[in-house]
Chains A and B, each alone.
Chain A
Amino acid sequence: MALRRAVLVCCALGCAGPAPGDEPRRGPGDPGTVTLRRLNRVEYDNTVRDLFGTTLSPGLAFPDDDEVDGFDTLGEALSLSPTYVARYADAARALVDDLYRADRASYRRTRILHCDLAQGGFGCAREILAPFAARAWRRSITEAEVETLMAPVHTAQELGGSLEEGLRASFEAVLLSPHFLFRVELDGTETPHRLTDHELASRLSYFIWSTMPDEALTAAAESGQLQNDDRLGAAIDRLLDDPRAERLNDTFATRWLEVDKLESHEVSGRLFFGRWSGKHAASMKTEVRRFFQDLLRADRPATELLTARSTYSDALLASHYGDSPRVGLLTMGAVLATTSFSTRTSPVKRGQYVLDRFLCSPLPPPPPDVEGFPDAPATPVTFREILEQHRNKPECAGCHRLMDPIGLGLEGYDAVGRHRTTERGLPIDTSGALPDETSFSGAIDLAEILARDSRVTACMTRKLATFAIGRRLVLADDDAWIDHIAAEAGKTGGGLKQIIRALVTSEAFRSRRAGTP
């Protein structure tokens, strides 16, 4: 019955009959309009490395990419100014020079320059440019497009220059073309509609590897295999098992957790002398990266991000942590420091962080003209007492009753993530109760309770989807889409890989809605 309905739907869309496994999954979710995404600096560097086999990283000289919701993969935020375009032109020239500097017999040169221009003339130039442009633009290209790329070769000849000079310029044109710099997805007449095979391959590859599709994925796209759920699933698994999937640690995980800029986090040198340094920041960030990578590789559920034990503290961190109890991300130095001020912890910031990053239930910012806390109150009081006064104010209570208990539960760790039992000489009480009246005692208990909240898995899925699809999830259908992915993943154990698989195979990921004409 399901299959028959699928056939009817499919025929109504005007396509040929489906092969087994091809049933369109009309799961919930509006693909929404994803604004044209240009490659960000990281994607640019990874892509030219795969394309040329170069060791250059021209993207390092590009301006930083703007972020929305913490990620630098959202089309709406990725803009271009003339300075950036000038940098693209410099990069294109440098990459082509680098190719021609490579050893004549090297694979990375002969792979691209595979015929002798002196003998083969224009024909050879075409044979070089056609496959190169197809790889660079991540799709099949037309004869007419190859002809446009030949223009510099003709110009060179007309002016009495060498064909090689012309071909070099043609390579630059490939790299300055919008087809290379943007991840182009086109709209047909119908909306929403499925992505083409090549468009889907690019979405998948840039999501997991942060680079262009490799030969195997391109071949799978070429032969239409990605329309088949099982084949698509196999492609996802292959990408996830590849070392390049570790890039998700930096492209996704550290950004989601806001620890990507930990090295420039402000910590008071006066108060934390000897207990904070660039090395501490680096060790803490490594701990987060490896922890995430390990859970992803082992396909563990998202909730274990809060409850699994970390085994990645190096010698520096081991002595920083001492033998204090630690479990999951909430007790990692990177998270504890990121959510603190330079001189002290902030239970409010930590509470807000957990609500925003793990439960996707951020609170509105405080109204203007709200007074901050005195940094050093005249008489010693604990934050708990200060915050309790605060919660007595009706205009503050609504939000602070949600944030404060969580933050106070983490008060057993200072602003650089070390364990402590007192604050300014007063003992710290880390017990509390969540708004639903579940009581807890201390950070480990709190993490266990938070992990039972179904929002944790949905939230991580939402962050992944935002990062992967490249738009803010603000549509009416987005919640249903995310819940659908989490439920689908749950059927096969709910591990991180299953979430990624369910996300990529969901209808909304594989489709596109046209923007305003």
Chain B
Amino acid sequence: MVTLPALPSLGAVCPSPQRFVGYYLPNGCWLPDWVPTATGSGDAWQLAPGHAALADLKSELLLVTGLENQQRRREFGDHALGCGAFLTARKPGKLVQQTSSSVDQVLAESMGGCTKVASLQLGTHNIGPTDAFGSYYTRSVSWRGPREVKGDGKVAFPVGSATPLYKETDPRLAFDRLFAGPNAADSTREAQIRRALRKSVLDVVTTHGDGLRQRLGAEDRVKVDQLFTGIRELEREMQTLPPAACAPGPRPTSSLGTDARTDMMGRLIALAFQCDITRVATFMIGDALNGRDMSFLEEVRQIGGDAGDHAVSHHQRRADMVAKFRAIGRWKVERLAQFIRTLRDTQDADGRSLLDSTLVVAGSDIADGDSHRHDNMPLLMAGRLGGRVTTNRHVRYAQSQLKTFGDFYITLLGMYGVQVDTFGDDGKEALAWR
């Protein structure tokens, strides 16, 4: 039984913000560049070479390594499978949109009604190679699936028909969605009529949907419900008053260079957090399996030959390919570092750094780009989430322990007040990583 989520009650009493960012880096990494040699906290551990760009942020970081995500269920289509599992910890259905809610959507739902936009999905491009599982798994890390409330009041997120949330790749369109649109505070008569008419349009369409739903089979209803989830969110965005103190600045242009465009998306997330327009975001710095031409990087150009993101990730341990792969990895980490810095340097309403109330979780679809394994997965966090997370640490789980992303997310959800017993395919017990 599919039901539309209830329209959240507006003006609900909302706790002070806890924010979440899922940051996805495609095509795996060169593991020695990601995994620090020593574990521990403070000076006991040092950043791995590929994380040099994060040096000034070390005190804000927490690395958890040695976790697996779907290693025991791997099959042809590793990139799609791994990207689909990044925030769901679940192996997705093959060529069907079937999985469970990703952590960002679980959190967005738990914070429902507190912000104008429930959650934000941004990225740099939409290529979406099929990779045996379906293009939706290589270009979406955010998924909305079924939700169950159990007898003890805990919630569960079982597998079922799920909706991939398309990401926005144009900074200008993303800006408009967040900051433009009808101003609910404009009290002129013209503005009131405009708002009433927009509301009336959505009401008409909702009537059509209600009539139609009753005459459709279950699979078809899923599709119509997706339309109405979107219509309800439009309605909410229209009715929510923008926070009084919010100065987003000028609209970004759509034509920015690669670095500037990527960094702009990060700035938009920070602005949306600062204005409390949303508290949950995901970002993909490239789709899984994408072959984007990386020769805009000087080192890649100088070495020559293949420059496609995915082609280079199959380095086959050849020196020139590894050098290019590491250079591409460093570039991705530089952009991640720039984003974390933006959060650090942006003031929250209480005058503190946004990073204090945020947790950024960065990871990939596979571990090493060439061997395609799903154990010892790269996983890096930044931010303190209101003091719930102790940073400047490297925690390592021995691979023999078979600890998984599902276990990891149980702990993570708990820190946001969402109590679950299980998560994803393998999550059975909270890990004490925090």
> What is A's interface to B at a CB cutoff of 8 Å?
33, 35-36, 38, 61, 63-64, 66-70, 75-86, 88-89, 145, 148-149, 151-152, 155-156, 159-161, 165-166, 169-170, 172-173, 176-179, 181-182, 184, 186-187, 264, 266, 268-271, 341-343, 365-366, 368, 372, 374-375, 472, 514-517
Inter-subunit contact B200/A169 (CB<8 Å): yes
Q: Please give the distance in Å from A293's CB to the nearest CB on chain B.
A: 26
Query: Which of B46-54, B166-174, B378-386, B388-396 interfaces with chain A?
Result: B166-174
Complex-state Cα separation, A434 to B204, whole angstroms: 62
Contact of B97 among A77, A88, A148, A514 (CB under 8 A): A77
Complex-state Cα separation, A81 to B232, whole angstroms: 12
Inter-subunit contact B197/A514 (CB<8 Å): no
A-B contact pairs, 10 of them (CB 8 A): A38-B223, A66-B135, A76-B219, A86-B234, A151-B200, A156-B193, A159-B193, A170-B201, A343-B306, A517-B218
Q: Please give the distance in Å from A459's CB to the nearest CB on chain B.
A: 19
Inter-subunit contact A80/B97 (CB<8 Å): no
Inter-subunit contact B217/A514 (CB<8 Å): yes
- Note all chain B residues with C-beta closer than 8 A to A86: 177, 230, 233-234
- Note all chain B residues with C-beta closer than 8 A to A343: 305-306
Contact of A79 among B189, B208, B226 (CB under 8 A): B226
Complex-state Cα separation, A187 to B218, whole angstroms: 12
| Closest partner residue, chain A, to B189 (CB atom) | A160
- Note all chain A residues with C-beta closer than 8 A to B297: none
Inter-subunit contact B128/A66 (CB<8 Å): yes
Complex-state Cα separation, A184 to B130, whole angstroms: 27
Does B227 reach chain A (CB closer than 8 Å)? Answer: yes
| Closest partner residue, chain A, to B225 (CB atom) | A80
Inter-subunit contact A80/B230 (CB<8 Å): yes
Complex-state Cα separation, A281 to B198, whole angstroms: 45
Q: Please give the distance in Å from B163's CB to the nearest CB on chain A.
A: 5
Contact of A517 among B121, B217, B306, B316 (CB under 8 A): B217
Inter-subunit contact B198/A366 (CB<8 Å): no
Contact of A515 among B135, B218, B226 (CB under 8 A): B218
Does B229 reach chain A (CB closer than 8 Å)? Answer: yes
Query: Which of B70-78, B269-277, B335-343 interfaces with chain A?
Result: B70-78
Does B187 reach chain A (CB closer than 8 Å)? Answer: no
Inter-subunit contact A186/B215 (CB<8 Å): yes
| Closest partner residue, chain A, to B132 (CB atom) | A365
Contact of A81 among B132, B230, B304 (CB under 8 A): B230
- Note all chain A residues with C-beta closer than 8 A to B118: 82
Inter-subunit contact A149/B193 (CB<8 Å): no
- Note all chain B residues with C-beta closer than 8 A to A155: 196-197, 200
| Residue of B76, B118, B126 most packed against chain A (CB within 10 A) | B76
Inter-subunit contact B136/A152 (CB<8 Å): no
- A35-B223 contact in complex given A184-B212, A268-B305, A517-B217, C-beta closer than 8 Å: yes
Inter-subunit contact A33/B205 (CB<8 Å): no
Does B216 reach chain A (CB closer than 8 Å)? Answer: yes
- Note all chain B residues with C-beta closer than 8 A to A79: 97, 136, 163-164, 223, 226
- A368-B200 contact in complex given A67-B130, A516-B218, C-beta closer than 8 Å: no
Inter-subunit contact A266/B311 (CB<8 Å): yes
| Closest partner residue, chain B, to A137 (CB atom) | B208
Q: Please give the distance in Å from B155's CB to the nearest CB on chain A.
A: 21
Inter-subunit contact A268/B234 (CB<8 Å): no
| Closest partner residue, chain A, to B117 (CB atom) | A82
Complex-state Cα separation, A166 to B204, whole angstroms: 13
| Closest partner residue, chain B, to A373 (CB atom) | B316
Does B165 reach chain A (CB closer than 8 Å)? Answer: yes
- Note all chain B residues with C-beta closer than 8 A to A148: 204, 207-208
Complex-state Cα separation, A10 to B184, whole angstroms: 59
- A264-B291 contact in complex given A38-B223, A77-B136, A148-B204, C-beta closer than 8 Å: yes
| Closest partner residue, chain B, to A145 (CB atom) | B208
Inter-subunit contact B95/A472 (CB<8 Å): yes
- A178-B132 contact in complex given A84-B230, A159-B196, A161-B197, C-beta closer than 8 Å: no
Inter-subunit contact A515/B217 (CB<8 Å): yes
Complex-state Cα separation, A365 to B193, whole angstroms: 59
Inter-subunit contact B218/A85 (CB<8 Å): no
Query: What 0/1 pattern do residues 229 to 240 of B give for CB contact below 8 A with A?
Result: 111011000000
Complex-state Cα separation, A181 to B226, whole angstroms: 12
- Note all chain B residues with C-beta closer than 8 A to A88: 230
Inter-subunit contact B198/A66 (CB<8 Å): no
Does B345 reach chain A (CB closer than 8 Å)? Answer: no
Does B64 reach chain A (CB closer than 8 Å)? Answer: no
- A178-B167 contact in complex given A266-B306, A342-B308, A472-B95, C-beta closer than 8 Å: no
| Closest partner residue, chain B, to A88 (CB atom) | B230
- A36-B76 contact in complex given A85-B230, A266-B308, C-beta closer than 8 Å: no
| Residue of B136, B230, B295, B372 most packed against chain A (CB within 10 A) | B230
Contact of B217 among A149, A169, A176, A516 (CB under 8 A): A516
- A81-B204 contact in complex given A35-B220, A365-B75, C-beta closer than 8 Å: no
Complex-state Cα separation, A61 to B224, whole angstroms: 21
Inter-subunit contact A67/B220 (CB<8 Å): no
Inter-subunit contact B204/A173 (CB<8 Å): yes
Does B28 reach chain A (CB closer than 8 Å)? Answer: no
7 nearest A-B residue pairs (beta carbon)? A85-B230, A515-B217, A365-B76, A36-B220, A63-B166, A80-B226, A173-B204
Does B127 reach chain A (CB closer than 8 Å)? Answer: yes
- A61-B173 contact in complex given A155-B200, A161-B193, C-beta closer than 8 Å: yes
Inter-subunit contact B205/A81 (CB<8 Å): no
- A165-B197 contact in complex given A83-B165, A515-B217, C-beta closer than 8 Å: yes
